[in-house]
Chains A and B, each alone.
Chain A
Amino acid sequence: MVNDEISSDEKSSGTFEGLRASNVHMLSDETTITASSHGGNTIDHDLVNQSVAGSQAAFVTLVKRHQQRIHSLLERLCGCPETARDLAQETFLSAFRHLHTFEQRSEFSTWLYRIACNHAASANRRRRPHALPVAVASPIAAGTSVSARMEQAELKQRLAAALDQLDEGQRQAVVLCDMQGATYEEIAETLDIPVGTVRSRLHRGRMQLRQLVKNL
């Protein structure tokens, strides 16, 4: 099966998968959950409850548990480390202020990702109101293989630049799936869109990236 060729080491740390893994650790003595399962995030929920009750220490722990993932997400959504740092702070401040509205029906990380995505989208609207439309990219030259060119280190830079030119919705789907390890369902919940929309946005985003990488 070709899918088996996708190795687990392709996943970076600080992702949805990392968070799921930590939940698996926590519950390993009591119950078994699958790697993609939702729920069971009792540690985060406990910390949320403690934070709502007034414990700043619990909230600080929440921040430390999620700061790397949020930073990484925002850096990829905004394409700028400095902006990502500011937005990460805004994200956690927003989360703290609205923590009492978090009903714990979803995972805390999903809720936090949604806040981060909203902040990133707002920042991107302010920052680049006239982003280049992806449609202007020229057709792919026949016989050129992206996979062959991926061996070049500079291609990663091209990829990062291409990511910056994607439509906001496509970029969110691609970053959440391919960089944060989120499942389609988690992306749908985070972005509050149907899973079918996630499928199409993700595939279109990847195809646009393919085209852009060849043209950059």
Chain B
Amino acid sequence: MAYFNGTTPTSTITPDDPRLSEWIDGRLSEAEAAEVERTVRASPDLTQIVDDLRAIRSALGQLESQQPAAGFAQSVLNSLNAAGNTGPGAASNAGDPEVKAEWQRIETQRIAEERAEAKEDSQTPEVAGQPLRPLRMWQTAAMAGALAAGVLVTLVLNRPRVEKEGRETAMVSPPLGATSSLNRDAAEKSARRGLAEHGAIEDANGRSIVLITAADAPPTGLRVRVRLRDEQGRQRLEELLAASHVRIQTDEFAQAKSDRKRESDEIIGGSGTPAAIDALLAALSEPSDSLVLEAVPSESAAADADTLRQSAGEKKSLEKRADFPAMDAAMAKAADPSGGLPPAPAEAVPQAQRVAAGSAADRVVDSERPSANAVQRESADKRTLRAESEMTIRSEDSKAQVKNAGVILWIQIIDETGVGAASQNATSGQ
């Protein structure tokens, strides 16, 4: 038998013996390891080989690999959706005539929708006789909507917008002042594009999918917002939190539960392992009519909370200050045969909104100068309308309170040794 470079012929271990690697990997029993160690120590060549193998093993472990691209998971999902794979096993069913027919139906519908959308786009202005590209048209529409927001504050525009059934909006707060469904959709799409950069995307059905995982969390902890659309959303959140391995600060959670009617976002502190957090996020991302998971794309948690509180508070106060006085003014003017315009409570309405509200009321008055009988009938109609409108607004206002209720989950990431728990305790009290 040929031995490597003078290894003792009496040795039972050759350089090709896999036990050398097993010894390095610590897989041998004590007796086997002792035998290998004794043989290796007795042979300079085997000692050299073992040293080399150990160095190779170490160096291999230190070889660096490139990190996957930031949008890798999204690209996988896009590929799946582009290929029409709506679920595992879709490919294996591709030859099924029923599946094929269903897929063709969906594809036909998608093409029809795209054509309709393109037709709608074509109604927007052209520059120098050249039709704008679709993306540019959306941008133009979004800009027009944003510009209009600063000028046109009407009764309708400031009311809480009721979202389409079954469609989950991923925006943290809806943009004010979208003047048409076209512009509003454009603004929504723009907001979603922005949100996509912060870790959320949409699936093929337009539902938001939060891509955030524990691996994305900054040192201060992972923060996500759970928007609760109704009481079932609250219940579902509590159930998911209870079922998860994420540890919630019980005192704070109890306080949050007792304070359900507050308009600003609650903050629920907790801690958990990356795996537990990922599982919770996946469960929260499940399509639901009562609960939506959103990204919180900000730098500091305190700023997040302040911003969200301020945003919610401003939005509500704006609705109350602008909507009701403006409606009062419009209704009073409409009911007044003389067309007199009762002064709106100026101190409560910002200048721009006051102008807009006045203009709206003026338009109602100026557009028609009815006769006395007509005025009486219309007055009754308007009173009914006003009562119905107020009821609608109050109802929507109440719904908006529930719909806008949000919970910031602020979860500190820990390992099995409990590292991070201390900082979590420090932060959760904020």
Using a CB–CB cutoff of 8 Å, the interface residues on chain A facing chain B are: 1-3, 5-6, 10-12, 14, 21-26, 28-29, 43, 46-47, 50-52, 54-61, 63-65, 67-68, 71-72, 75-76, 81, 84-85, 88-89, 92-93, 96-101, 142, 145-147, 150, 155-156, 159-160, 163, 174-175, 177-179, 181, 184, 199-200, 202-204, 206-207, 209-210, 213
Q: Which of B14-22, B145-153, B350-358, B378-386 is near enough to bind chain A?
A: B14-22
Check A56 against B18 for contact (C-beta < 8 Å).
Answer: no
Alpha-carbon gap, A160 to B275, bound state (A): 32
B20 to chain A, nearest CB (A): 7
Q: For the complex, what is the distance from the CA of A31 to the CA of B73, rounded to whole Å?
A: 32
Asked if A56 and B66 make an inter-chain contact with CB atoms under 8 angstroms apart, the answer reads no
Q: Is the CB of B21 within 8 A of A203?
A: yes
What residues of chain A lie closer than 8 Å to B283, measured between beta carbons?
A: 50
Of the candidates B77, B85, B89, B279, which one forms a contact with A43 in the assembled complex, judged by CB atoms under 8 Å apart? B279
| B258 partner residues in chain A, CB cutoff 8 A | none
8 A Cβ contacts from B364-384 to A: none
Residue B1 CB within 8 A of the other chain: no
Q: List residues of chain B with CB within 8 A of the CB of A57.
A: 203, 209-210, 282, 285-286
Nearest opposing residue in chain A for B203, CB measure: A56
Q: Using Cβ atoms and an 8 Å threshold, which residues of chain B touch A51?
A: 88
Which listed residue, A64, A72, A203, touches B73 by the CB 8 Å rule?
A64
Give the dominant DSSP class at A's interface.
Answer: helix
Q: What CA separation (Å) do A5 and B54 show in the bound complex?
A: 10
A63 touches B76 (CB 8 A): yes
Q: Are B16 and A203 in contact (CB under 8 A)?
A: yes
How far apart are A54's CB and chain B's nearest CB, in angstroms? 5
Q: List 30 A-B contacts (CB under 8 A).
A: A3-B24, A10-B62, A23-B275, A43-B278, A43-B279, A47-B278, A52-B89, A55-B282, A56-B203, A57-B286, A61-B281, A67-B68, A67-B73, A71-B65, A71-B67, A85-B68, A85-B72, A89-B79, A96-B85, A97-B89, A101-B89, A145-B51, A145-B52, A146-B56, A155-B59, A159-B60, A159-B63, A203-B17, A203-B21, A207-B49
Instruction: Check B32 for interface membership: any CB of A closer than 8 A.
Output: no
The total of chain B residues at the interface (CB under 8 A) is 75
* 7 nearest A-B residue pairs (beta carbon): A57-B285, A25-B273, A99-B88, A146-B52, A147-B55, A72-B65, A203-B21
A215 to chain B minimum Cβ distance, whole angstroms, is 13
In the bound complex, do residue B21 and residue A199 qualify as a contact, i.e. CB atoms below 8 Å apart? Answer: yes
Nearest-neighbour CB distance to chain B for A130, whole angstroms, equals 25
Known: A179-B60, A209-B56. A203 touches B20 (CB 8 A): yes
Contacts of A100 in B (CB 8 A): 88-89
Residue from B27, B52, B80 within 8 A of A96 (CB atoms): B80
Q: Which of B166-222 contact A (CB under 8 A)?
A: 203, 209-211, 213, 215
Q: Mark B270-281, 1 if CB is under 8 A from A, else 0.
A: 000111101101
- Check if A97 sits within 8 Å of B68, measured CB to CB: no
- B69–A145 touching, CB < 8 Å: no
Q: How far is the CB of A178 from chain B (nearest CB, A)?
A: 4
Complex-state Cα separation, A50 to B282, whole angstroms: 9
CB-CB under 8 A for A12 and B61, given A2-B37, A92-B76, A184-B27: yes
Interchain nearest-CB distance for A68 vs B (Å): 6
Chain B residues near A10 (CB, 8 Å)?
A: 57-58, 61-62
